[in-house]
Amino acid sequence: MRNACYVKIRIALATNNTPADPDEFASFIDGLEARRFDTVWLSDTPMAPVIEPKLALAMASARTTRLKLGTNVVVAGRNPMLLAKELAHLDRLTHGRLLLAFMPGIGSPKERAALGTIGMDRTTRIEQTIELCRAWWAGEPVTAEVGGWSYDAIKVGPPPVQDPLEIWLGGNGPRALQLTGTHADGWLGSRATPAEANSHVATIMAAATEAGRSIDDDHFGISIPYSRVPLDDKQIAAMMRKTDADRADILPYGADELAALLQRHIDAGMSKFVLRPMATPDGWETELDWLAEHAMPFQN
């Protein structure tokens, strides 16, 4: 177990359905900034009718000065050169406030077909894309063949403000944990109990050491779905699939369970928390006020 006393505890918020209405989205972002949440995380879900995260974060940056701007990027199917350029420029537009996590996507047959990734090893593509992005962000000319793209001494510029612009990974499987250790700057897990998260961190650190790398102790986090009120059986089943963990270790209800789970994860070595409300029955203002009262006290 790592000592959490020497790391920065940060509370972020993610949404299942990012408001697509400009006024509603602006109010949501303003609420996060005013209550001093560390980060807003917007997911890249190509097949869902939700707002495109890179565009939304550019808008959010214009309304804020301190809120960090995180996005989960589905790498598969995207031209790595264009992705590297978009992310570098987004970091510049946000004055170096961009946070990144690369994801493989949901892997459904429809999504794979729509993205042109049928038969692709998505973990390998993430590995290749990380290496390419870092080379381009360092100003290096890249010569490579990746999928159907051919790069002949191609450069991408201007570079991001952050040096380095960090890339975090998620995933609980052996390949995902190994790749995090060998290629990533941090781990943002999900659907893991505190004990499981602690074990995953040990696996990642061992892989990093073997690869001659190191990952900062405060670069480990967990995404936590929660609800202020009990959910129906269908929603619970969807969140608890493929796990026999206690519900409160994955999906806490109410202030007491959420606070208890946050503390257990802190004790297990986590320091970055992305809270994801499963329902906002009273609207975002009420939800943010509730989190400001019950979750934000953990932020140091």
Measured between alpha carbons, how far is 110 from 108 in angstroms, rounded to an integer?
A: 5
Above pLDDT 90, what percent of the chain? Answer: 76
* pLDDT at 5 (0 to 100): 52
* pLDDT at 158 (0 to 100): 97
Residue 136 contacts residue 155 (beta carbons within 8 Å): yes
Above pLDDT 70, what percent of the chain? Answer: 98
DSSP label of 265: H
Mean pLDDT along residues 252-264? 97
Residue 25, domain extent: 4-298
Structure confidence by residue, pLDDT tens digits, 65-106: 999 999 999 998 899 999 999 999 999 999 999 999 999 877
* pLDDT at 50 (0 to 100): 82
Average pLDDT, the chain: 93
Structure confidence by residue, pLDDT tens digits, 39-60: 999 998 888 888 899 999 999 9
Q: What is the secondary structure of 174-234 as a DSSP string?
A: HHHHHHHHHH-SEEEEES--HHHHHHHHHHHHHHHHHTT----TT-EEEEEEEBSSPPPHH
CATH of the domain at 289: 3.20.20.30
Residue 13 contacts residue 291 (beta carbons within 8 Å): yes
pTM of the entire structure?
A: 0.93
Measured between alpha carbons, how far is 24 from 51 in angstroms, rounded to an integer?
A: 12
Burial of 153 (0-12, 13-18, 19+ CB in 10 A): exposed
Tokens read off for 233: 């059986």
What is the domain count for the chain?
A: 1
Taking alpha carbons only, the member of 201, 224, 228, 200 closest to residue 274 is 224
